[in-house]
Amino acid sequence: MSRRAVVVGAGPNGLTAAALLARRGVEVTVYERDPQIGGAARSAELFGPGFVSDLGAAAHPFGVASPAFRELELEQNGLEWVQPEIPMAHPLPGGRAAMLHRDIERTAQELGVDGPNWRRLHEHFSHHPFETVENAMGPLLRIPPHPVDMVRLGVLGALPAATLANLVFRSGAAKALLAGSSAHATLPLTRPLTSAFGIAFGALGHSTGWPVAKGGSASITDALARVLLANGGRIETNAEVTDLRDLPRADAVLLDLTPKQILRIAPEQLESRYAAHLARWKYGAGVHKIDYLLDGPVPWEDARVASAGTVHVGGEFRQIIEAERDINRGRMPEKPFVMVTQQSAADASRTHDGRQVLWSYAHVPNGTALDVRPALEAQIERFAPGFADVVLERREWSPSALEAWNPNLVGGDIGGGSMAGTQQLFRPAPSLHPYRAGRRGLYVCSSSTPPGGGVHGMPGLHAARAVMRDWARRD
């Protein structure tokens, strides 16, 4: 007897789960409220024909190393990764920048006195990137697939990034480089486990890189859709699900939604204790995003930064710590941590006529309505004097605008919920089976489950495997 599954939400995780189930012979239908698939991995010609901007996620260090994407063979289904010359740069005061090169030896050499410790911190994981990702991209409360490697990461990764940086580095450049990568946790860098983010991002930069998807991040979800459709799956767009009871009969329903949306569409269908946990779910800091069309490259003081795919614009180590502390306390810092991605510097297909598209966001308090643009642009201008002079057009997205575009981005939180406290261990509720949604046949596959945010499909992979395991037990 054939099985049927329904997936609500055509983001990367929902499509990953759907494609994996379809490849196993399951009859799968995906329902998406918007006219386009992709969730927060969509692209558009915001500034006219031939100028492609990523509406959500931009650079993909975990995507290129993702076990889910490798299992689905996305690169044989139209996805092409494009590596920038330099994975990541971190401008510093005085016109210089710290560089994360693909070559760990070159990075270590440029870090001078801290080079040997940088190498020791990242070398093992850069030699085993896929094992590192498999360990890191799943529930923490499990037996990891590579236990010895997990122990090695856990010993140092459990430390707050601020503590680790002060323990192993002496120079401002190395400390800032680690802090910038650790800031992807969107947590105060004085919190435990933030070092794990910095180590993992750095190791991937030295191995599989920090690429962009050729033609835009939508190429990732387009490839996922091709796999799904080629295996008999269906996608229904303009099909918002407002009540789970309206869905057709299915053996499994998978929700690519965060707790706020789950409670909205299933107020009475959830087990009461599970619903209570979802109601207590806390969302993390948000982002304020600005896309730019530029009349040429960003005039970085250190000209090498123009060749970097991702630029962490946060200044010195101490400034990043203060900025991330402030946003998690609900205060807007004067000098926020700003992420910049220069996709068109790596991917020439996104632009023409010498112009550049630039993607940026600042970490901000969740849901803030403050005018963030002056602080964001001042941070870029601080390390790229004359930036304002090359700006031709901009499109701005406040936290509320991001949530209106994609309801999963609650208050501008791009990670599906805070990683603070127990929410790093238990997502979205205390359980050793985080992908089950409290009643038989209902599952969650969003970034509110382990391992959290990012375009890598791992929540979808784990949820699909949970479905197949449950079916196997009942057969």
Secondary structure E strands in 182-243? 212-213, 234-236
pLDDT in tens, 203-222: 999 999 999 999 999 999 99
For the entire predicted model, the pTM comes to 0.94
- Which pLDDT band, with edges at 50, 70 and 90, does 149 fall under? low
Least confident of 120-124, 312-316, 326-330, 425-429: 425-429
State pLDDT tens for residues 160-192. 999 999 999 999 999 999 999 999 999 999 999
- Mean pLDDT score of the chain: 94
In this predicted structure, what is the pLDDT of residue 51?
96
- Residue 11, SS3? coil
- pLDDT at 415 (0 to 100): 95
> Could you read off the pLDDT of 316-365 as tens digits, one per residue?
999 999 999 999 999 999 999 999 999 888 899 999 999 999 999 999 99
Question: Residue 1 has what pLDDT?
Answer: 56
Residue 118 has pLDDT above 70, yes or no: yes
- Helical pair 194-205 and 129-136, crossing angle rounded to 10 deg: 150
Indicate the SS3 state at residue 230: helix
| Mean predicted confidence (pLDDT) in 224-230 | 98
Q: Are 332 and 370 in contact (CB under 8 A)?
A: yes
What are the b/e assignments for 64-88, b being 16+ CB within 10 Å?
A: bbbbbbeebebeebbbebbbbebbb
- Structure-block tokens of residue 7: 């997936």
Measuring CA to CA, which residue among 275, 219, 232 is closest to residue 41? 219
pLDDT of residue 133: 84
Burial class of residue 167, CB neighbours in 10 A (0-12, 13-18, 19+)? exposed
Among residues 217, 210, 215, 209, the alpha carbon closest in space to that of 347 is found at: 215
pLDDT digits (tens, 9 = 90+) for 58-91: 999 999 999 999 999 999 999 999 999 999 999 9
If one compares 424 and 78, the residue with the highest pLDDT of the two is 78
**Which has the higher per-residue pLDDT, 396 or 421?**
396
Q: How far is CA 354 from CA 51, 297, 349, 388, in A?
A: 11, 8, 12, 17
Span between the terminal Cα atoms of the chain, in Å: 11
- The pLDDT of residue 421: 84
- pLDDT cut 70: percent of the chain above it: 99
Report residue 395 CA to chain centroid gap.
Answer: 21
pLDDT of residue 155 exceeding 80, the answer is no
| Average pLDDT of span 366-371 | 96
pLDDT at residue 146 tops 80: no
Give residue 131's pLDDT band: very low, low, confident or very high (50, 70, 90).
confident
pLDDT at residue 154, rounded to an integer: 67
Question: What average pLDDT does range 416-434 have in this prediction?
Answer: 89
CB-based burial label for 374 (10 Å; 0-12, 13-18, 19+): exposed
The confidence score (pLDDT) of residue 391 equals 98
Name the range with the highest mean pLDDT among 1-5, 312-316, 428-432: 312-316
